[in-house]
């Protein structure tokens, strides 16, 4: 492999090391568009901060809002109390009811 060199008036140093040059020379496989589970897990691991940072920001902002928001809820209720009315059974119905219990 050739060693690529940048030459200036006083310095000379390689732009690429040998491993990087070998990596660049490797043929790239065409993307078929099919992703395996390992591909998806790798994508999520590389981009985990895209999910973690907004989730933490929403959590922190919501917590601060809940802590510092004025408590303005006021509830009132009115209770109507009426005397209970129990209907009287007719005399014949009460006699029939009592005869069943014997």
Q: Choose between 28 and 95: higher pLDDT.
A: 28
- Residue 77 inside a domain? The answer is no
- Residue 99 inside a domain? The answer is no
- Residue 11 inside a domain? The answer is yes
The 10s digit of each residue's pLDDT in 2-26 is 555 555 555 555 565 777 777 777 7
Q: Give me the pLDDT at residue 74, please.
A: 84
The backbone torsions φ and ψ at residue 4, rounded to the nearest 5 degrees and listed phi first, read -75, 130
The 10s digit of each residue's pLDDT in 43-90 is 899 999 999 999 999 999 999 998 888 778 788 999 998 888 887 776
- Residue 19 inside a domain? The answer is yes
- Residue 13 inside a domain? The answer is yes
- Residue 76 inside a domain? The answer is no
Domain count, the chain: 1
Partners of residue 12 on adjacent β-strands: 7
Provide the residue range defining the domain that includes 19: 5-27+36-68
Which structure tokens are listed for 62? 């919501």
For residue 7, the 8-state DSSP code is E
Q: Choose between 61 and 96: higher pLDDT.
A: 61
Q: Choose between 31 and 72: higher pLDDT.
A: 72
């Amino acid at each position: 492999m050739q060693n690529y060199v940048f030459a200036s008036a006083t310095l000379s140093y390689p732009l690429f090391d040998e491993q990087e040059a070998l990596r660049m020379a490797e043929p790239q496989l065409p993307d078929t568009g099919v992703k395996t589970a390992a591909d998806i897990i790798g994508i999520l691991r590389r981009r985990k901060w895209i999910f973690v940072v907004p989730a933490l920001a929403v959590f922190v902002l919501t917590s601060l809002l809940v802590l510092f928001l004025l408590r303005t809820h006021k509830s009132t209720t009115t209770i109507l109390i009426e005397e209970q009315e129990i209907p009287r059974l007719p005399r014949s119905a009460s006699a029939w009811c009592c005869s069943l219990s014997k």
